[in-house]
Structure 1
C-alpha cells in the first residue's frame, strides 16, 4: 500500500523515515564503532576489551606453572588456588593473638592506612593551598619539602618508634609522612596554575579569602588535588606492608613475614595477590571519585 502511495506521489517523503533524534543516535553509535543492525562491531569491541587482560593473566599463570615444575619448593597455581579456597572459607577466625584469619589482618592494615592517610589529608591539603596561595609560605616550606620528600618512608619508622614508644603509632606515623608529600605538592601546584584572570576578577570584586577559596580555588584545584590523593593512597598501601613486617602485630605485612617464618609459600603468594587486589580497589575507588568531581567541557 505504501509503495502504491509513493508511486502516486513521487515527491512525498517516505512514510517510515527515521526520526531526527534516532538518526543522530545511530550516527553517534556508528562513530563509536557500534551498529544496531548486527552485533559484529559490538562483539569486536567487547573482545578487544576482555581478551588482552585474559591473555595476560593466562601468560602469568603459565609462567607460574613452568616455575613450579622446575622448583619443587614453589607451589603450583592449582595448589595455591586450593589453599586460597580453604583460607577464604573462614577468613575471620581467631585462635589467639598470633593466629588470626587473613580478613582480620587486612582490616588491621586498612585501619592503619586510614588513620595515617586521613591525618596526612587533614594537614597536607590545607598546607598545599596555603603554599600555593602565598609566595611567602612557598619560600618558607619549599626547601623543607625538597629536603624531606626524597627520604624513604621506612627511614622515618625508627623516629616513630622513638617518639611514640609503640609499634602501632609508629606504623601510622610512617603512613602519614609518606602520604603528605604528594598531597602538598599537587595541591600547591594546582593553586599556582589557576589563571591569573580569575584572581584579578576576585580582586576587583573585593572577594574575601574564604570566597576566593570556595568559589575559585577549590573548583579549579580539585582534579589536581585528587591526583595527589591517588598517588598518596598507593604509596600508603605500599609502605604499610613493609612497616608491618618490621613492627609486627596484626596486619597483612606481619602475616606475610610470619608465613615466611613458617615456610608456608602458598600463603605468601595468596597474600601478594590480596595486597595487589586491595591496592587496585583503593585506586579504582579514588579514580571514580576523581571522575565524579572532574568537570569536562561540553561537547567533549
Structure 2
C-alpha cells in the first residue's frame, strides 16, 4: 500500500513533459531575437543628428548675442545723435562727421608746424607721456605694494596716506607739477604717475595679504629665504591681483593725460581737442572723442590678454 502511494506521489511530483524547467523559464523570459534586433543601433545616429542640430542652434544663438546687441547699441547711439543734430543747428550730423573723419584719416601724420600736426602724431605724443608716467608708477607702486602687504608696520604707516591722496582729482596735481618741474611735459607725466600709482599699490598689497597662510607656514618649515618666498610663493599668488591693478591704472593714466594736455598745451590728443574747440570745429571734437575711446579700449584689452596669458583665472571688464 505504501509502495503504491509512494509511486502515485512520485508521479505527481515529476514535472510534466510540457512544463518548462527553471532553465527553460529563464530562457523563455528572454526576448525573441528577430531581424529588428539591429534597430537599436540607429538610436545613436538619431541622437547624434539631433545633437548636431542643437549645437548649430546654440552656435547661431551665441553668434547672434555677440553681434546683434553691440550693433543695436551703436544704431541707437547714432539715432540719438541724429535727433540731437536735427534739433541743434551747430551740432554736426553723423554723416557730416563721417565725411570729416575720412578727410582727417586720409593723412593723419601730416606736420605743418609744431602746433599744427595730424591726429596720429597727437595720439602718439599722448601715448608716450602715458608710457613714461605709467611705467614709473609701476616701478614704484608694485614693489611698494609688496612691502605694504608683507610688513604690517608699513601697512599701518602708508594706509592713511593712501586713503588721503587717492581721491584727489588728477587736475589738482597738475599745478604742483608745473611748480616743481617748471615745464608742461614733466608736469603731465607727474600727474599720470601720481594718479595711476594707487590701484597698483592697493591691489598688490591686498593680493599679498590674501596669500593662504598654509603657503607661508610651509615656507617657514622649509626655512626658505625671503627672496624665494617672494619669487616662489608670493609672486605667483599675487600676480592676478597685480595685473588687475595694472589694468585699472592704465585706464586712469589715459584719462589723466587727456585732461592734463588740455591745460598744458603742446602736442597731444587733449590739446588737439581743446584747439579744435577754440576753432569751433565740432566734428573734429567728436572724432577725437571716438579716437580717445578706441585707444583706451585697445590698451585695456591688451592688458586683459596679458592677464589671461599669465594667470589661470578668467579676467573680467
Deviation of the 1:39 alpha carbon: 3.4
The correspondence of residues 167-182 of structure 1 with structure 2, limited to 5 A, is 167-182=184-199
Deviation of the 1:41 alpha carbon: 2.8
Deviation of the 1:98 alpha carbon: 1.1
Give the whole-Å Cα distance in 2 for the aligned partners of 1:48 and 1:189.
36
Give 3-state SS (helix, strand or coil) of 1:95's partner: strand
Deviation of the 1:295 alpha carbon: 1.3
Q: 1:249 maps to which residue?
A: 266
The correspondence of residues 20-31 of structure 1 with structure 2, limited to 5 A, is none
CA-to-aligned-CA distance 1:174-228 (integer Å, 9 cap, x gap): 0000010000000000000111111011001000111001111011010011111
Give 3-state SS (helix, strand or coil) of 2:130's partner: helix
Distance 1:55 1:209, change over 3 A: same
TM-score, length-scaled by structure 2: 0.83
CA-to-aligned-CA distance 1:249-283 (integer Å, 9 cap, x gap): 00000000000000000000000000000001111
Distance 1:11 1:76, change over 3 A: closer
Q: 1:192 maps to which residue?
A: 209
Q: 1:148 maps to which residue?
A: 165
Distance 1:188 1:13, change over 3 A: same
1:121 aligns with 2:148: no
Structure 2: runs of 5+ lacking an equivalent: 1-32
1:158 aligns with 2:175: yes
Deviation of the 1:123 alpha carbon: 0.3
Deviation of the 1:37 alpha carbon: 6.9
Distance 1:124 1:38, change over 3 A: closer
Instruction: Count matched residues.
Output: 281
Q: 1:266 maps to which residue?
A: 283
Distance 1:292 1:263, change over 3 A: same
The correspondence of residues 100-115 of structure 1 with structure 2, limited to 5 A, is 100-115=117-132
Give the whole-Å Cα distance in 2 for the aligned partners of 1:255 and 1:76.
21
Q: 1:3 maps to which residue?
A: none
Give the whole-Å Cα distance in 1 for the aligned partners of 2:222 and 2:40.
58
Give the whole-Å Cα distance in 2 for the aligned partners of 1:146 and 1:80.
43
CA-to-aligned-CA distance 1:135-183 (integer Å, 9 cap, x gap): 1111221121111111112111111111111000000000000010000
The question of whether the paired residues in 1 share the 8 Å contact of 2:97 and 2:286 is answered with: yes
TM-score, length-scaled by structure 1: 0.88
Structure 1: runs of 5+ lacking an equivalent: 1-5
Deviation of the 1:38 alpha carbon: 7.1
Higher gyration radius (CA)? 2
The correspondence of residues 211-290 of structure 1 with structure 2, limited to 5 A, is 211-290=228-307
1:61 aligns with 2:78: yes
Q: 1:80 maps to which residue?
A: 97
Q: CA RMSD in A?
A: 2.3
Distance 1:198 1:61, change over 3 A: same
**Is 153-162 or 7-16 further displaced after alignment?**
7-16
Give the whole-Å Cα distance in 1 for the aligned partners of 2:40 and 2:154.
71
